[in-house]
Amino acid sequence: MTKRKLIVLSAAFTLLFVAFAGAGAASKMLAQPTAVAVVDISKVMQGLKARLQLEADMKKAQEDFMKEMEGMKQELIELRDELELLEGTQGYDAKRASAEEKAFNMQAKDQFKRQMLEREAIVSMEMLYRKVVTAVDRVATANGYEIVVARESMDTMGTPKNLQELQGQMMTRKVLYAADTVDLTTSVIQTMNNDFDVAR
């Protein structure tokens, strides 16, 4: 075989090798189809029995706190009336000091209690959100979905104050369209409400 033919054959084998290697690499780079679903978190929260219970508990805590504050205010009013009667007497200074101390304690307790109630609300809402994420995971896994994207309802856009706010809302929306067949919102609500009923 001549040297020329050897060169030609070598070049041909090289081209074939490159072609097959490229095809193999391309096949590896092709990603498998990914099943994607959506969930409207706002609608999930609205439909949860756990949220209603949480709000009822928070409301009762607020009402109990207000009753306690009203009782302390009434005590201060009574002390003020006593001070008016004691004015100019020997026991006035001691009663005034007691009233001032009670007023200070009431103010401090009011501030502390409000902060505590707000903190409890934040923690409770965060825990509820974590339960939503867990429920989304369960529902998605059971239905063969690998990715779940947050879907915003058109109702959440509200009434923009100006054009800039409207454009901002439009640009930050995550999902523009999703078929109802890939919307897991109702299933997530049902799953969590069932869990809530079982736990009660």
Query: Which whole number is the average pLDDT over 151-175?
Result: 74
Contact between residue 140 and residue 37 where contact means Cβ atoms under 8 Å apart? yes
Please check whether residue 12 lies inside any domain of the structure: no
pLDDT score, position 2: 57
Q: What is the mean pLDDT of residues 101-110?
A: 90
Q: DSSP letter at 180?
A: G
CATH of the domain at 59: 3.30.910.20
pLDDT value at residue 125: 94
Name 5's Cβ contacts closer than 8 Å, sequence gap at least 6: none
Mean pLDDT across the chain, nearest whole number? 83
Residue 129 corresponds to which amino acid? Answer: Y
The tally of domains found in the chain comes to 1
Highest mean predicted confidence (pLDDT) among 72-86, 122-136, 152-166: 122-136
Domain of residue 192: give its range. Answer: 32-199
**In the predicted model, is pLDDT for residue 12 greater than 70?**
no
| pLDDT confidence bin for 3, thresholds 50/70/90 | low
The answer to whether residue 159 is domain-embedded is yes
Interhelix angle 185-199/92-142, nearest 10 degrees = 120
Separation of alpha carbons 107 and 100, rounded Å: 11
Q: Which of 27-41, 46-60, 167-181 has the highest mean pLDDT?
A: 46-60
In a domain, 124, yes or no: yes
Q: Is the pLDDT of residue 192 over 80?
A: yes
| pLDDT for residue 115 | 94
- Domain membership of residue 142 (yes or no) is yes
At 138-159, the pLDDT tens digits run 999 999 999 999 988 766 566 7
Q: Is residue 118, in this structure, part of any structural domain at all? A: yes
188's tokens: 């997530």
Residue 11, domain member (yes or no):
no
Q: What is the pLDDT of residue 9?
A: 45
Q: Helical H runs in 87-180?
A: 92-142, 163-172
- Residue 120 has a pLDDT of 94
> Would you state the pLDDT for residue 99?
85
Residues 43-69, mean pLDDT to the nearest whole number? 94
pLDDT at 4: 53
Band of the pLDDT at 18, cuts 50, 70, 90? very low
Is 4 contained in some domain?
no
Q: What is the mean pLDDT of residues 89-103?
A: 86
Quick check: is 190 in a domain? yes
Q: Is 21's pLDDT higher than 90? A: no
